[in-house]
Amino acid sequence: MMTPNKEDYLKIIFELGGTEHKVTNKQIMNSLQISAPSVSEMMTKLLKDDYIVHVPYKGVQLTEKGENKASILVRKHRLWEVFLVKKLEFPWNEVHEEAEVLEHVTSRELANKLDKFLDYPKTCPHGGVIPSDHGQFPEKNNLSLVHFGKLKEIRIKRVLDDKELLDYLSSLEIKVGQVYTVKEYGIYEGPITLEHDRKEKQISYKAASNIFVEEI
């Protein structure tokens, strides 16, 4: 049986790049802010239902069945986020939880009508590509901010759809699409210093792990 809880796990694996590479339990645990035993228990269930494959010491990856299911969920979620921001003028950091509720009660027909009403948007407010009705999602799997060296110019392409992260980035006025220079990496997973418009901002290592960028 596919429960909302299972759906949330599939979505986070999808968002963390689980269509192309292995995602670790630690990444899932940090993103969902839940315990390691809870993640392990759910991975066992998803593996049994053929939604994921598991490679020891490397992590999990979505199967074709898992990709199809996750892309449908992500499509509904991201369409509602666009609607809430563009039509109801919600701040970008306040739409995740509302979309979480709406996605679980949205039929395929409603999602398609919503897509048409919004004039077929390509991305959500957080930079994520909106999959097509056929499950296609031409989203470039950008590297996270923690993988870049100092003095690199980067553009933020996408951030993980997580309420705590979005609130944090909003408080720092960090936005998708902006260009920054990576100035400094703190030792032992310390904060990362970015510069934009001659102003420096420090981002925690945990947050930077869920910010996906491209080098300019």
Mean pLDDT, residues 119-148: 84
Domain CATH for 160: 2.30.30.90
Percent of the chain clearing pLDDT 70 (strictly above):
96
- Do 191 and 117 fall into the same domain? no
- CA atoms of 88 and 35, how far apart (whole Å): 35
Mean pLDDT, residues 112-131: 95
Interval 166-178: pLDDT, tens: 999 999 999 999 9
Q: Crossing angle for the helix pair 4-15 and 36-48, nearest 10 degrees?
A: 100
- Do 96 and 11 fall into the same domain? yes
Tokens representing 39?
């993640």
Comparing 63-67, 134-138, 161-165, the range with the smallest average pLDDT is 134-138
Decide if pLDDT at 155 tops 80.
yes
- Do 156 and 98 fall into the same domain? no
Count how many Cα atoms sit within 13 Å of the Cα of residue 13 in the half-sphere of its side chain: 34
The pTM of this model reads 0.84
Cβ partners under 8 Å of residue 84, min gap 6: 90, 95, 98, 99
- Do 149 and 182 fall into the same domain? yes
Q: What is the pLDDT of residue 17?
A: 85
Beta strands in 67-151 (DSSP E): 143-144
Number of domains in the chain: 2
- Do 15 and 67 fall into the same domain? yes
What is the residue range of 190's domain?
143-215
Domain CATH for 103: 1.10.10.10
Do residues 202 and 191 make contact, with C-beta atoms less than 8 angstroms apart? yes
Q: pLDDT averaged over the chain?
A: 91
- Do 36 and 87 fall into the same domain? yes
